[in-house]
């Protein structure tokens, strides 16, 4: 275990003016408080905060952060109090220790809703001072290093939590070495067979290519020196988890990977970065499409480097990263290396103040700001995870503004990154001057022009196309708002029609009393409840006009029969445009009267089980839409056209209805047959299949189905989704 003077010496090496008295007080206080406590390994418990402090000294952090590391478990695990720590070490250190105590009580790997809420609390604690996150990451790193001493049933939970939360968060903060070690240790616990198999392959490769790395290091160092470039060349094999993830992402075997080796070239200036790049490309053939310049366009976590891949001396692909020494410090320690020490000496500002200069902390602040957008904790966790796990592409607006997005992002993500209002109004786009579909995946350097239309409402289906959490959350909010407006319009029309039949004209006071009687908070909520069918129209009329007895003008009551043409059996509605499709059977829909033609909205219209709405088109008849259809937005201001209709499901036996789903499948033999088998086994029917997007790895197709109702469709979708060859499947409603 590290001695007191050894810890002080470690800090003094990079900060000769460190506060030795503070470090000594924190060391002695923590050791006394933890006393005879032991860890699962049998070691004294104090060895843990001491190791956490040692990890942070490797990051060259300030005295206060080292002291916090020593004290971070005292309030939680000993009789120490916040008041006592404030008195001995100051209010700021007390705040940091208290913040870490609250985070320690969080349990991320519990039920999803609780995990999500705890994640929000973590980020809110970090928002106060980023040192909370740095100490927590060091704490988790040491716990992962000693995870083999923990009970077997707990290891998987801790490793999963590390892989899902802490490793990607370290990456987002630019702390790549910490992220890699966390991933390696978690991967070894979660998938020991794969870890062992890949490690064995790497060991075998290392033996067979024993001299390759050293030969390239010495050859490249010599060539750079001949050009007057002082460089340090470091070579290594990739980590097992990195290789495993690439094998899964590209669906390839280990033998098919060609870039197992990576080299880091560290020089003394930005100019020499590009000189070294020219020398490397003139020495070995460059692999097309594998050049990335993160110096001119840094990543959002402040990572800067030039990446290239060449075919090395043994015809082996070799990845190279070229950067300055300062860039290497930031690449290794991320936000911990940012502006804290200038010329090897501590800056005047606090860690919290200086860290705000970094782009990674700016991302964290933007993420925390989204907490106020009103999304649920589960949605927030899901969207933040999406952004944590993605690398980036860099695109430009027509005016030259740089927009950083996750890999796989579409123009929809781009529009919302510019501004939420731009995203909501987006109708189309041009990429590099050419009109392109909104589903197009953006590439580095693309110039994207968003075409907007005032009053446009983003379709709910866009959520499946978006990659960023910001875009997905905004689309969900817009869809919820649009659905509320539609329900409000339906409810308003229903009440107006009912009161018109009764020649009623309620006053404002009457409406206020009605809201009170029905327990509704506002008039809008009242109309929405009517539109959703949660509040019967008869109850609403009685509340507005006490003592009134309402019945529809045609004298028919719900449940009397099928509405439309008068027959001996009741009122039956035929659908001329689709009668042949359904074997001449009638389509039972309640709520319609008169001899008007009826049709369904095209392209995956309504199914029995959907909440449906009828829209009256003068001279054309009535069109039936599911309530979630984005096409209803154009009728928002025409409440007079809305008809409240519903299915009479007692008359639907054996009738199939059209539905559309989009399926993304792995490009491999037999994949389509598995989809067809699921549909057939569930008594569905495939009417048409259209390939909408092809790639080397995946195909996307639009499938026209015939199903009995929503439950039938959902059952088919769930069984398709369960197939290994299926990446995604969702229903399409125009």
Query: Which domains are assigned to the chain?
Result: 4-193 (1.10.3210.10), 194-337 (3.30.460.10), 551-652 (no CATH), 657-732 (3.30.70.260)
Please tell me the distance from the alpha carbon of residue 424 to that of residue 471, in angstroms, as a whole number. 9
3-state secondary structure of 235: strand
Find tokens 């106060």 and name the residue.
Answer: 128
Per-residue model confidence (pLDDT) at position 182: 94
Tokens of 230: 């002082």
Options 76, 217, 525, 581, the catalytic residue = 76
In the chain the first and final C-alpha atoms are separated, in Å, by: 66
Is residue 76 among the annotated active site residues?
yes
Output the CA angle 729-731-734, nearest 5 degrees. Answer: 140
3-state secondary structure of 684: coil
**Angstrom distances, CA of residue 552 to CA of 492, 495, 499, 502, 643:** 16, 12, 10, 10, 13
Tokens of 438: 């909104």
Which stretches within 580-667 are classed as H helix? none
Longest CA–CA span in the chain (Å) reads 101
Per-residue model confidence (pLDDT) at position 503: 59
What residues pair up with 698 in beta bridges, in sequence order?
666
Contact 339, 354 (CB under 8 A): yes
Contact 320, 352 (CB under 8 A): no
Detail the DSSP E strand segments found in 312-414: 317-324, 341-342, 345-346, 392-396, 402-406
Is 698 buried (19+), middle (13-18) or exposed (0-12) by CB count in 10 A?
A: middle
Is residue 193 among the annotated active site residues?
no
Options 9, 19, 43, 77, the catalytic residue = 77
pTM for this prediction: 0.53
Per-residue model confidence (pLDDT) at position 414: 94
- Spatial CB neighbours of 437, under 8 Å, sequence gap ≥ 6: none
Tokens of 393: 């592409």
Contact 653, 588 (CB under 8 A): no
Residues in the chain with pLDDT values less than 50: 109-111, 338-357, 371-372, 374, 386, 389, 552-588, 590-594
Per-residue model confidence (pLDDT) at position 186: 93
Rounded to a whole number of angstroms, the CA Rg of the chain reads 32
Region at 448 (left for phi over 0; alpha for psi -120 to 50; beta for the rest)? beta
Contact 582, 599 (CB under 8 A): no
């Amino acid at each position: 275990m590290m001695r007191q003077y050894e810890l002080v010496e470690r800090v003094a090496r990079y900060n000769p003016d460190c506060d030795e008295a503070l470090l000594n007080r924190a060391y002695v206080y923590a050791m006394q408080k933890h006393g005879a406590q032991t860890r699962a390994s049998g070691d004294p418990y104090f060895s843990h905060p001491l190791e956490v402090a040692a990890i942070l000294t490797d990051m060259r952090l300030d005295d206060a952060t080292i002291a916090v590391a020593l004290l971070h478990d005292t309030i939680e695990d000993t009789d120490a109090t916040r008041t006592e720590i404030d008195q001995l070490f100051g209010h700021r250190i007390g705040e940091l220790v208290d913040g870490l105590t609250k985070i320690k009580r969080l349990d991320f790997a519990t039920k999803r809703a609780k995990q999500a809420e705890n994640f929000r609390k973590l980020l809110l604690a970090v928002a106060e001072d980023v040192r909370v996150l740095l100490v927590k990451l060091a704490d988790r790193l040491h716990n992962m290093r000693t995870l083999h001493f923990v009970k077997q049933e707990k290891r998987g939970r801790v490793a999963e939590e590390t892989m899902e939360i802490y490793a990607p968060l370290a990456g987002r903060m630019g702390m790549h070495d910490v992220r890699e070690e966390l991933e390696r240790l978690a991967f070894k616990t979660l998938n020991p067979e794969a870890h062992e198999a890949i490690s064995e392959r790497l060991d075998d490769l290392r033996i067979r290519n024993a001299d390759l790395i050293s030969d390239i290091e010495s050859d490249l160092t010599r060539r750079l020196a001949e050009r007057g470039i002082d460089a340090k060349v470091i070579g290594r094999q990739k980590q097992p988890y990195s290789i495993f993830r690439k094998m899964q992402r590209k669906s390839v075997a280990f033998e098919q990977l060609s870039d197992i080796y990576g080299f880091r070239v560290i020089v003394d200036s930005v100019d020499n970065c590009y000189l070294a790049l020219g020398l490397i490309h003139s020495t070995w053939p460059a692999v097309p499409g594998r050049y990335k310049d993160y110096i001119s366009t840094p990543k959002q976590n402040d990572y800067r480097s030039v990446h290239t891949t060449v075919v090395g001396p043994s015809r082996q692909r070799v990845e190279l990263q070229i950067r300055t020494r300062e860039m290497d410090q930031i690449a290794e320690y991320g936000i911990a290396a940012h502006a804290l020490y200038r010329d090897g000496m501590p800056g005047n500002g606090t860690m919290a103040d200086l860290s705000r200069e970094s782009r990674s902390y700016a991302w964290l602040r933007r993420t925390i700001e989204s907490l106020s957008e009103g999304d649920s904790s589960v949605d927030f966790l899901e969207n933040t995870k999406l952004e944590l796990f993605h690398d980036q592409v860099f695109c430009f607006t027509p005016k030259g503004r740089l927009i950083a997005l996750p890999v796989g992002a579409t123009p929809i993500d781009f529009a919302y990154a510019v501004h939420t209002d731009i995203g909501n109004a987006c109708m189309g786009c041009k990429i590099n001057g050419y009109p392109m579909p909104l589903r197009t995946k953006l590439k580095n350097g693309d110039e994207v022009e968003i075409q907007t239309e005032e009053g446009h409402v983003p379709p709910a289906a866009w959520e499946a196309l978006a990659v960023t959490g910001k875009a997905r959350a905004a689309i969900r909010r817009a869809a919820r708002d649009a659905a509320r407006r539609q329900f409000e319009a339906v409810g308003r029309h229903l009440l107006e029609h009912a009161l018109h039949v009764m020649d009623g004209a309620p006053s404002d006071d009457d409406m206020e009393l009605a809201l009170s009687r029905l327990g509704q908070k506002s008039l809008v909520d009242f109309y929405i409840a009517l539109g959703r069918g949660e509040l019967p129209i008869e109850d609403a009329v009685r509340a507005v006009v006490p003592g009134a007895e309402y019945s529809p003008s045609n004298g028919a009551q719900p449940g009397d029969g099928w509405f439309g043409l008068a027959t001996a059996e009741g009122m039956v509605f035929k659908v001329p445009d689709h009668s042949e499709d359904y074997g001449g059977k009638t389509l039972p829909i309640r709520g319609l009267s008169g001899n008007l033609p009826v049709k369904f909205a095209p392209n995956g219209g309504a199914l029995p089980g959907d909440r449906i709405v009828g829209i009256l088109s003068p001279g054309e008849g009535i069109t039936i839409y599911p309530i979630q259809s984005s096409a209803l937005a154009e009728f928002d201001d025409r409440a007079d056209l809305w008809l409240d209709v519903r299915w009479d499901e007692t008359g639907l036996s054996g009738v199939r209805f059209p539905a559309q789903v989009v399926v993304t499948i792995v490009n491999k033999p037999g994949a389509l047959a598995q989809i067809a088998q699921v549909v057939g086994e569930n008594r569905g029917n495939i009417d048409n299949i259209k390939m909408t997007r092809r790639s080397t790895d995946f195909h996307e197709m639009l499938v026209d189905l015939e199903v009995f109702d929503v439950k039938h469709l959902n059952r088919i979708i769930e069984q398709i989704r369960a197939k290994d060859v299926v990446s995604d499947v969702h229903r399409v409603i125009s």
